[in-house]
Amino acid sequence: MLQGHQTWVFANRPVIVSTGTVGGPFEANGSISEDFDLLHKDMWIGQASFEKAQQTLMEEACQITLKKSSIEKEQVEFFISGDLINQITPTNFTAKTIGIPFFGLFNACATSMESLALAAMIINNKGANYILSGTASHNASAERQFRYPTEYGGQKPPTAQWTVTGAGCALIAQQGQGPVITSATIGKVIDMGITDPFNMGGAMAPAAVDTIEKHFKDRNLSPDYYDLIITGDLGHIGREISYDLLTERGLAIKEEQYVDCGLTIYREGQPVLAGGSGSACSAVVTYGHFLNRMKAGELKRILVVATGALHSPMSIQQNDPIPCIAHAVSIEN
């Protein structure tokens, strides 16, 4: 059911019956390493390229998710996923490997919640019984495409963020045991004129604020309805900007209630500059760390707001501003 202008409310409460999270060596040294299902010691993951390594991460996350459920691959009707690389090639090749009918998405780092929202909508309306939803990213493949190859050794400003090497996947079902998806607010593209690709947090913050504000307006809720409001990868810069903007707009969110996946995944002292980013950032932190906290009874309701910068290497070279988007999904026990 549509509530307000941008929010779907899921009366049938689609269930997240299982999840799978995979990470690389940098993530293994982070602050939530115990919440991963599988961690790799090598960035190459035994592959000939970083893009193929990213494909392997996504394949492993899908396999783990299915293994943790009682569902066979043949029972899953759709796979909904995407990534950051040109033409979402690693995801396309993953879809070929797993052999499940496939919707390919690109919403940059907002892809995790875009895919989860669409999966919930299809499940809620009985368009499928089971859907795999997820995304992956790789630090070196993203650096090669959007900035400089790692081997170049280029310096970065303090506003830059570290792309997560990992993959997160969830199996969504009409019924079963697990947290339920109660609503999703679909964001609009917001462009504040920022052109600096090393300041993703600043560019994405207004999109996060717009979606959060619309979510509470559409659902007629106050922020204290949720135990946590979790942004995707705003990092230190974007989180501070967005929190100030939300406060200015009259949303009374407590400081400790407003957290960011890009600030959760790595420990203090890791050289990640402004924090973590990448399409896998919100996926692995949500499907691993925060859902584990829900299963342990520490959290009852969370709102996950994945943020994405919709630029390309070509648009940056042509000095175009960076359009951004954010999608919010509410998950409850």
pLDDT score recorded for residue 52: 97
Co-location of 133 and 209 in the same domain? no
Q: What is the CATH number of the domain that holds 231?
A: 3.40.47.40
Q: Give the three-class secondary structure for 183.
A: strand
Co-location of 150 and 223 in the same domain? no
Domain stop point among 173, 196, 215: 173
Co-location of 216 and 145 in the same domain? no
pLDDT exceeds cutoff 80 at 157: no
Co-location of 154 and 202 in the same domain? no
pLDDT score recorded for residue 198: 85
pLDDT score recorded for residue 144: 82
Q: Of 8, 182, 174, 11, whose CA–CA distance to 77 is shortest? A: 174
Q: What residue has token string 């999840």?
A: 19
Co-location of 52 and 128 in the same domain? yes
Name the H helices within 23-80. 25-28, 50-68
pLDDT score recorded for residue 316: 83
Q: What is the pTM of this model?
A: 0.95
Domain stop point among 146, 173, 200: 173
pLDDT score recorded for residue 8: 98
Mean pLDDT computed over every residue of the chain? 94
- What average pLDDT does this structure show over 153-165? 82
In this structure, what token pair is assigned to residue 127?
């368009």
pLDDT score recorded for residue 152: 62
Co-location of 297 and 214 in the same domain? yes
- What average pLDDT does this structure show over 256-261? 97
Domain stop point among 122, 139, 173: 173
What one-character DSSP code corresponds to residue 186?
Answer: P
Co-location of 125 and 250 in the same domain? no
If pLDDT is split at 50, 70 and 90, which confidence band does 151 have? low
Co-location of 15 and 164 in the same domain? yes
Co-location of 168 and 242 in the same domain? no
End-to-end CA distance of the chain: 20
Which residues span the domain enclosing 44?
Answer: 2-173
Co-location of 245 and 162 in the same domain? no
Q: How far apart are CA 218 and CA 216, in angstroms?
A: 6
pLDDT score recorded for residue 242: 96
pLDDT score recorded for residue 299: 98
pLDDT score recorded for residue 196: 85
- What average pLDDT does this structure show over 116-144? 95
- What average pLDDT does this structure show over 101-111? 97
Co-location of 205 and 315 in the same domain? yes
Instruction: Give how many domains the chain has, as a whole number.
Output: 2
Query: Taking the CB of residue 43, how many other CB atoms lie within 10 A of it?
Result: 17
Co-location of 279 and 241 in the same domain? yes
Q: How far apart are CA 45 and CA 28, in angstroms?
A: 14
If pLDDT is split at 50, 70 and 90, which confidence band does 149 have? low
Instruction: Report which of residues 219 and 146 the model is more confident about.
Output: 219
Q: How far apart are CA 242 and CA 239, in angstroms?
A: 5
Q: What percent of the chain has pLDDT over 70?
A: 98
Residues in the chain: 333
Contact 80, 87 (CB under 8 A): no
